[in-house]
Amino acid sequence: MSTAVLSQDTRAVGRGRPGVRTTLTPGSSLGLGIAMVWFSLLVLIPLAAIVATAGDGGWSGYIDTFKNPQSWAAIKLTVGQSLLVTAINVVMGTMIAWVLVRDRFWGKRLLDLVIDIPFAMPTVVAGLVLLGLYGPESPLGVNVSNTRTSVTLALAFVTLPFIVRTVQPVLAELDADVEEAAASLGATRLTILRRIVLPSIIPAIAAGAALSFARAISEYGSLVLLSGSLPFRTEAVSVRVLSFIEGGNRTAAASLATIMLGVALLVIVALDILQRRVARRG
């Protein structure tokens, strides 16, 4: 939810870019200092170290990674499945958020609580639960273990809450009066959804989609038991990176990680651009 707010904020700052003037007071500059140190220690320095390690192999390191058919298959699988799952989440997550905010029904509180379980559960446990439910001894008679569908399933499970949780508060804040006014002026439900509701929640959906995608391409725990990690078929990038580390090839591990970093950045930027376009049109 904070991400949704955040993305709107950055937009506002972005618009006022010409002649940026600092608003820092003594207190807030101390805050900024602490925030930057914390951020650097946790994120910037480790990321720089990965990129630097990947740089050991020069450009040929990256080219080798792409040329290795097994790594390339893992990249294709992971990115493809993550995009698919993100698309599913955009629809399903928004729908769940809508139901949770707009409708009243028995068990709503419980559903609201249960949504977060994929966040709270260790992902290896999630993998085990999914394997029990959709594996060879499935009580439902559905066995997807060791197939690509199992990857979709595992990723969908662990990323489910992101869009629900980003869209929900924005939807709750939305003024019903505007929709009523539109309806009284003769707008159809579809028009209201398209012209009033969607533009307001698109930034939240985009923020949730970015989180969901980023989470999906990095997923490891829930996949290890369910997907079987078969090279060329169900081996995800995270497992491949682990193999490189285990084999003592840190440069290859780092260059594969850096490639995924680039992919994540690309998708996050693309989602941001898309979100701005749609929001402006609305």
Q: Cβ of residue 119: shortest distance to another protein, in angstroms?
A: 23
Nearer to another protein, 71 or 275 (CB): 71
Residue (of 99, 255, 105) closest to 168 by Cα position: 99
CA geometry: angle at 187 spanning 184 and 192, to 5°? 110
Minimum Å distance from CB 255 to another protein? 13
Nearer to another protein, 57 or 208 (CB): 57
Phi, psi for residue 155 in degrees, rounded to 5: -65, -40
The distance of closest approach from Cβ of residue 21 to another protein in the complex, given in angstroms and rounded to an integer, is 11
Residue with smaller CB distance to another protein, 64 or 112: 64
Structural contact between residues 14 and 7, judged by C-beta atoms closer than 8 angstroms: no
CB 245 within 8 A of CB 228: no
Phi-psi region of 20 (alpha: psi -120 to 50; beta: other; left: phi over 0): beta
**Closest by Cα among 220, 229, 208 to 272:** 208
In the complex, what is the shortest distance from the CB of residue 126 to another protein, in angstroms, rounded to a whole number?
A: 13
- Nearer to another protein by Cβ, of 129 and 192: the residue is 129
User: What residues line the site for another protein (CB under 8 A)?
Assistant: 22, 24-26, 29-30, 32-34, 36-37, 41, 68-70, 128, 131-132, 135-137, 145-146, 224-225, 228-233, 235, 239, 242-243, 245-247, 249, 252
Query: 205 vs 9, 91, 99, 279, CA distance in Å?
Result: 15, 9, 15, 11
CB of 242 to another protein, least distance (A): 5
Q: Shortest distance, CB of residue 221 to another protein, whole angstroms?
A: 10
Nearest-angstrom CA–CA distance, 78 and 151: 9
What is each CA distance from 8 to 98, 202, 231, in whole angstroms? 20, 11, 42
CA distance 118 to 120: 6
Residue with tokens 């946790």, as numbered in its chain:
42
Give min distance, CB of 268 to another protein, in A. Answer: 27
Fill in the DSSP letter of residue 196: I
Q: Which is nearer to another protein, 131 or 160 (CB)?
A: 131
Q: Which is nearer to another protein, 36 or 111 (CB)?
A: 36
Region of residue 141 (left: phi > 0; alpha: psi -120 to 50; beta: else):
left
Which CB atom, from 29 or from 60, has the smaller least distance to another protein? 29
